[in-house]
Structure 1
Amino acid sequence: MLLCAVLAAALMFADLRFTRMEPVRAQLSTLVAPIQWAVSLPSDVLNWAALSLSDQRELVEENRRLREQILTLSHRVQRMASLTAENVRLRELLSATRERDIPFITAELLSLDPDPFSHRMVIDRGRRDGVFVGQPVMDAAGLVGQVTSVSAYASRVLLVADASHALPVQVNRNGLRFVAQGTGQYDALSVLHVPDTADIREGDLLVTSGLAGRFPPGYPVARVSSVVHDPGQPFARVDARPVAQLQRARHFLLLFPPEVPEAPGRGGWTARLDPAAIEAAIELMAPREEE
């Protein structure tokens, strides 16, 4: 040890006083580099593993948060085109009620129906999450379909492209209402009973009309891809392409639209009226004897 200490002191003095020790130090550093690498290898491996695991966990969590954020923002943006057109039509109605935000939950794809003639899928949300039959299902671009059956932890969804699925839609540009039905193909919908003189054009956006109370109004469904006018037929042949990514989407939104009030005469508003008030109104509207 004493010899090593004296040798170290001599080397430091020589390195300080003489410039010829610089190449010697470089050669010695090259010789001891493998030893330093071998000594530091276990520590470097442990640090790399810890950083990799922590980075992977952070990336997975961040990816999940970003997917949910994208779905949330897409859910809000989807209605902007419809609300802009509706604002023009309702500008004079100062007493129009403000639309409320529709609550929703996120879901993920579990499996697809193997039947080639049926367009259905299974998602990871069920009765315990509040899912119900007929609930609208969206992705980041537009309407995907509706829930047809619910179990405790999963649900089956019928896609808009299925040949047995139809829904009321309207042209976002002018408000014309039609029915869009699936064709059995993922990239095609058929718009039914379009009069030959109807103002519908290629590129028009079709949104949910809100009729029948199943789907809330204003959500994108499809975009018109072709309009064929046959001079001998009263209806035009209109095809549309779904805006939702039916074959690629893996994450979805389940909407909880507000309940539709009951119509008068079916246990709704008239059921809460006082019978005396109804009788008084009838007498008031009845013609007088002089007349």
Structure 2
Amino acid sequence: MFHHGPSPLWRLLIAVLLALSLMVIDAQGRYLGWLRSTLTVAVYPIQWLAAQPSRLARDLESRFATEADLRERNSLLESENLALRGQMQRFLALQAENSRLRDLLGSSFKVSDRVLVAELLQVELDPYRQQVLVDKGTVSGVYVGQPVLGAHAIMGQVVDATPLTATVLLITDADHALPVQINRNGLRTIATGTGRVNELQLPHLPKNADVRVGDLLVTSGMGGVFPAGYPVAQIVEVADDPNSSFATVHAVPTARLDRSHEVLLVWTLEGAPAQAIGRSEPPAEPADAAEPRDGRS
């Protein structure tokens, strides 16, 4: 319509006046709403196509960012899961260890002497030798002949001590003998090892002795090495052997000899060298430590 007629300036002025008039009319009476809606519908495909490049760019950026974030979070969660599972295993082990240590501490209150917790380093449970190696030695005051307790009962005594370790002979060793008494009636006897981790025998009881299945054997304290009154074993068999002058009596140790991880080293006033009582330094002359008086036959 402007190919012929007014100059460009007039054309611009007329267009501006027409636009202003349409804006005033629409604002006052909303007469052009239908036209605006129609134009909006007609123009929408153009607007949609124009917006697609930027929308696609945003979607791709969001997708890549989300995937990278998810991979990173997944890797982090896997690492945390592994760490937590490892800690859980450690917590279970610590829980079991704490339970054992509580049992040990509970047993330490049953004896009035000085005690020291030691961990097992090596275990030998064969018919020829029933012994364990613990991580405490003469540096900690350990001496030959020292009694060793578990959480539930007597375990054995020290037969060899070095500065950092000690060898403990278990009560089930065939060379070990332990003065005991029946808790029910006070009858005293000797419990000897059989070379089997779950069996002791009482070889010197007469057939008329008052011994019953289920009787608890405790240390008698004779000899002064083991604390008196501490559990040793429970009688499980009393038989009459016609070929023997004595009764056949077998007992099961109360201590968990094949499952213990920690032991208590006990300083008894009668059995310990004087210089080893009440302190952690090694005895002045470990070689002169007293030999066990009632532990080995």
- For this structure pair, what is the TM-score category when the shorter chain's length is used for normalisation? 0.5 to 0.7
Q: Which residue of 2 aligns with 1:173?
A: 184
* Deviation for aligned residue 1:59: 5.8
Distance change >3 Å, CA 238–CA 33, structure 1 → 2: same
TM-score (norm: length of structure 1): 0.63
Q: 1:51-103: per-residue Cα shift (whole Å, max 9, x none)?
A: 56766666665554443222212444xx5xxxxxxxxxxxxxxxxxxxx6232
Name 2:195's counterpart in structure 1.
184
Query: C-alpha separation between the residues in 2 aligned to 1:237 and 1:56?
Result: 46
Runs of 5+ consecutive residues of structure 1 not aligned to the other structure: 8-28, 80-99, 262-291
Of 210, 214, 225 in structure 1, the residue corresponding to residue 221 of structure 2 is 210
Structure 2 unaligned spans of 5+: 1-50, 56-61, 273-297
| Alpha-carbon distance change, 46 to 190 in structure 1, aligned in 2, over 3 angstroms | closer
Deviations along 1:178-197, one digit per CA (max 9) or x if unpaired, are: 11111222222111321222
Instruction: Report the CA distance shift for 1:150/1:46 in structure 2 as closer, same or farther (over 3 A).
Output: same
Match of 1:226 among 219, 222, 237: 237
Give distance in 2, aligned partners of 1:213 and 1:39.
67
Deviations 1:185-226 (A, max 9, x none): 222211132122211101100000000111110111111111
- Change in Cα spacing, 1:124 to 1:30, as seen in structure 2 (3 Å) is same
Are positions 1:128 and 2:143 aligned together?
Answer: no
Secondary structure, counterpart of 1:258 in structure 2? coil
Q: Which residue does 2:70 correspond to in 1?
A: 37
2:206 counterpart of 1:195: yes
Letter in 1 for 2:101: E
What is the alpha-carbon root mean square deviation over aligned residues?
Answer: 3.3
Structure-2 residue corresponding to 1:268: none
CA contact (8 A) 2:218 2:229 kept: yes
Counterpart CA distance in 1 for 2:217 and 2:199 is 13
- 1:103 to 2:114 alignment: yes
Q: Which one-letter code corresponds to 1:201 in the other structure?
A: R
Relative to 1, partners in 2 of residues 1:233 and 1:57: Cα closer, same or farther, differing over 3 Å? closer
Aligned mates of 1:139, 1:260 — CA distance in 2: 18
Aligned length: 215
Question: 1:121 deviation in Å?
Answer: 1.8
Task: Map 1:1-291; keep pairs closer than 5 Å.
Answer: 34=67, 36-45=69-78, 47-48=80-81, 63-76=96-109, 101-113=112-124, 116-230=127-241, 234-259=245-270
1:36 offset after TM fit, Å?
Answer: 4.6
Highest CA radius of gyration, 1 or 2?
Answer: 2
